[in-house]
Amino acid sequence: MPASTRHHRALAVFVHCLGILAAVPALPAAAPEAAAAPRPPAATSRPPSATPQPTAGAPTALPSTATQPPVAVAARVTAAPTPPSAPPAMAPPSRAPASAPPQQVTVAVAPESSPAPRYRIQVRNVGNAPVDTTVRQELPPGSSPTAISAGGRSTRAGGSTTEVTWRLRLPAHSTTTLGTALAATAPGQPLTAPACAFTSDGSRPYDCGTATWMAAAAPAAEVTQTPPWRRYPVLLAGLAVLLLVSAALLWVWRRRRGRRVTAAALASSGEPGGRGTIYPRPAAPIPARRRRTPPVWLLVGAAVVVLAGVVGTAGWTATRRVSAIDTQKQPTSGAWMGTGVTGPVGVPLRESAFEFTVYRMSCGAPGTAGKADGGGAPPANGRRCQATVGVRNVTGDHQPWHSQLQRAYLPGGRWVSTDEPATRAANLGRDVFADPMAAGTRVVLPLVFTVDGRDPPQQLELRSGVFSAGVRVHMP
């Protein structure tokens, strides 16, 4: 073999080895991408025998034929866009509202159609296990029960408020119906009696409900308005008009009577016998006559009557408007949002974002308050008052609320905000103000206020925001 041929073959073998070394490291990197990508139908239907094999006669064909399929697969894989492994940098999302724990016991209260106030309370256990619960119904101030369903007892909660208490054991997925009847009250007076289901120790509420009993409306024939002739403004106005008309008629009558007297005197002053003549009389000086005017007493009397009527009407209207002004209502213009609402216990009151319902308020004995905020000493004669409050978000978005905006007003105008550590302890360690309320959700929770003195709070002021007009609930 000539030396040139041996050199060519050695060069060909060397190039062949370099091609193999260059192709082998690239196969593992392309294999996962090729496995992730769908294999084309032509590649799956191609028989293995059609794969080109390297031959000694064509040493340079192996690198091109062996590396072409991986390159083609890699090209197809890299041509398709791959999703990024992590989202791009963006602003952190807003704090999501915390989901309220599911209610194991639900309460529904409904009034009955009866001459005397009667209420029907349905307590339902929706859980899979029996539950021991304490049901309390707050009766309206000054009312007393006449009938209570089996197992209930009436106790004096303080002041003029009475409550009815039941201790029940509810089987799983069961409903218990309770009932109360109150003494008859004045007709037309609505009575609201909320009821709540608490844990067995009576500290944490499961759920609450409320209902207002309304007396039967009186027939339309019995409901009559005051006749117009018995209303003071109408009487004064009628008297003034009558006096003016009488004065005008009197003046007109006297004027006509004077004209008739003058005409008769002129007719009788002619010929003897009292008969006049058709010929014109000689000109004679006519004395100047004063124009007749109404007497002074008539004008003064009419003016006095009209003035008295105007003053009486204005005074009566102003008195009615002043008596209709509610001095306890919050301002509803300027920086305030919504309308301030005031109501009693058990009545839902709605402001700009929330609907608040205060179901009951219970206070401990003086001197039983724990440590104040920050771990300091408790206030002198301090005690804790726990209010069971229902809160519903009536907006279409989640809404935050703050403990410092919920206040209890004491006699003399003093007020205290929510005791956050005590409220957290009453809610089993959960901070109810930490997360906003989701849209359309409702929760029933205890709010604790630490007050000093022997007098309980007179009002509760509840707000959803700093600029909200809020609601005020009068304590019985």
pLDDT digits (tens, 9 = 90+) for 72-115: 333 343 344 444 444 444 434 445 555 555 678 999 999 998 88
CA-CA distance, 104 to 200, in Å (whole number)? Answer: 13
Q: pLDDT at position 370, please?
A: 64
| pLDDT over 90 at 387, yes or no | yes
Whole-angstrom Cα distance, residue 421 to residue 45? 74
Q: What is the model's pTM?
A: 0.56
Q: Work out the average pLDDT over 458-476.
A: 90
Average pLDDT over residues 416-444: 92
The per-residue pLDDT for range 197-216, each reduced to its tens digit, is 999 887 889 999 999 998 76
Residue 331 is predicted with a pLDDT of 46
Q: Which has more confidence, 472 or 141?
A: 472
Cβ proximity of 86 and 131 under 8 Å? no
What is the torsional sign of CA 302, 303, 304, 310? positive
Whether 447 has a pLDDT exceeding 80, the answer reads: yes
Distance between first and last Cα of the chain: 123
Higher pLDDT, 314 or 196: 196
At residue 438, the pLDDT reads 92
Geometric angle at alpha carbon 216, from 215 and 218, rounded to 5°: 120
Q: Is the pLDDT of residue 417 over 50?
A: yes
Query: Long-range contacts: 72-78, Cβ < 8 Å, 24+?
Result: 73/30, 73/33, 73/34, 73/37, 74/30, 74/33, 74/34, 76/37, 77/30, 77/33, 77/34, 77/36, 77/37, 78/33
pLDDT attached to residue 461: 94
Pairing verdict, β 145-148 and 174-182: antiparallel
- Residue owning tokens 């190039």: 15
pLDDT > 60? residue 448: yes
Token pair of 118 as six digits: 């009667």
Maximum C-alpha span of the chain: 193
Listed in sequence order, the residues at least 6 apart from 170 whose beta carbon sits closer than 8 Å to its beta carbon are 105, 123, 124, 125, 130, 131, 132, 133, 176
Provide the CA 26 distance to its chain's centre, in angstroms. 68
DSSP designation for 257: H
- Predicted confidence band at 289 (pLDDT cuts at 50, 70, 90)? low
- Residue 368 contacts residue 449 (beta carbons within 8 Å): no
The answer, yes or no, to whether residue 343 has pLDDT greater than 70, is: yes
What is the predicted pLDDT for the residue at 5? 63
Q: With contact defined as beta carbons under 8 Å apart, do 107 and 206 qualify? A: yes
Number of C-alpha atoms within 13 angstroms, CB side, residue 119? 28
Closest to 389 in 3D by CA, of 341, 474, 450, 460: 460
For residue range 35-72, what is the model confidence (pLDDT) as tens digits? Answer: 444 444 444 434 444 444 444 444 444 444 344 444 33
In sign, the C-alpha dihedral spanning 429, 435, 437, 439 is negative
